[in-house]
Amino acid sequence: MKVLVIEDDPTVGPFIKRGLEQQRWSVDLTADGIEGERLARTQPYDVVVLDMRLPGKQGLEILRDLRSWGFERPVLVLTAQDAVDAKVTTLRAGAADYVTKPFAFEELLARGEALARRPRAMATPVLTVGPLTLDLDAREMRHTGKLIELTPKEFLVLEYLMRHAGRVMSRTLITEYAWGYHFDPGTNIVDVVINHLRKKIDAKAEKKLIATVRGVGYVIKG
């Protein structure tokens, strides 16, 4: 079992990590909201344990952004708010369950185990655009059936474009997705990765899949 714990409390975070590791879970712990969202997007976790009050980016915002992006894995929320409306807001934002602080570790473990057993009914492990297929579980890309190796950043940028096939994605949105935080709009880091992708995908193809929309960003069409 692989779990991500996003919790900035210097006592609670290590406490959860030690307890889960004693249950033979593989645990990544981060105290920063932005870093936690980046890890959730790029690593194959079975469950994410998310605190609501975090530095960098608040838990509710992280939860909403992950769900709107297409993140399907269960998120167990830690909250100090026991009010019904706060719980309802959390669940409607995409939480699979919640634990109210202070909590007994046995409760958190039981809820985490129950969430991990849920089938990934909504998951879409393979994206397809024209001759391209992107296997999200195997982290593989194929063009007309031929396997093409991608770097981690190339994979993330291509995944983002394929998830939004036919729509123009700005450089800012791409950097938020692939790097997890805002870059100076003047940077050419996205352009560099797109150029590498074009060499691997479009160089020998009659029909180019990745197009530039000048002054806006990039789009992929099948």
Picking from 15-19, 101-105, 135-139, 167-171, which range would have the lowest pLDDT averaged per residue? 135-139
**pLDDT over 60 (residue 88):** yes
C-alpha distances (whole Å) from 164 to each of 1, 100, 159, 160, 180 are 30, 36, 9, 6, 18
Confidence of residue 122 (pLDDT cuts 50, 70, 90): very low
pLDDT at 119: 64
User: What are the tens digits of pLDDT across the range 150-204?
Assistant: 999 999 899 989 988 999 988 888 887 787 655 555 678 999 999 999 999 998 7
**Do residues 53 and 112 share a domain?**
yes
**Do residues 98 and 12 share a domain?**
yes
**Do residues 110 and 6 share a domain?**
yes
Rounded mean pLDDT, 133-146: 88
**Do residues 101 and 135 share a domain?**
no
Strand pairing report for 169-170 and 217-220: antiparallel
Angle of the 152-163 helix axis to the 33-42 helix axis, nearest 10? 80
**pLDDT over 70 (residue 8):** yes
Beta-carbon count within 10 A of 175 CB? 21
Number of domains in the chain: 2
Q: What is the CATH number of the domain that holds 139?
A: 1.10.10.10
Strand pairing report for 217-220 and 126-129: unpaired
Confidence of residue 87 (pLDDT cuts 50, 70, 90): confident
What gap in Å lies between CA 97 and CA 107, rounded to an integer? 12
Picking from 32-41, 189-198, 203-212, which range would have the lowest pLDDT averaged per residue? 203-212
What gap in Å lies between CA 124 and CA 128, rounded to an integer? 10
C-alpha distances (whole Å) from 198 to each of 128, 166, 193 are 17, 17, 9
Share of the chain above pLDDT 90, in %: 57
Rounded mean pLDDT, 39-56: 93
**Do residues 112 and 135 share a domain?**
no
- The HSE-up count of residue 214 (CA atoms within 13 Å, CB side) is 0
pLDDT at 18: 96
Final residue before a domain boundary, out of 82, 117, 152:
117
What gap in Å lies between CA 163 and CA 184, rounded to an integer? 24
Mean pLDDT of the chain: 88
Domain that holds residue 153: 126-220
Token readout for 188 is 């050419």
Whether this model's pTM surpasses 0.75:
no
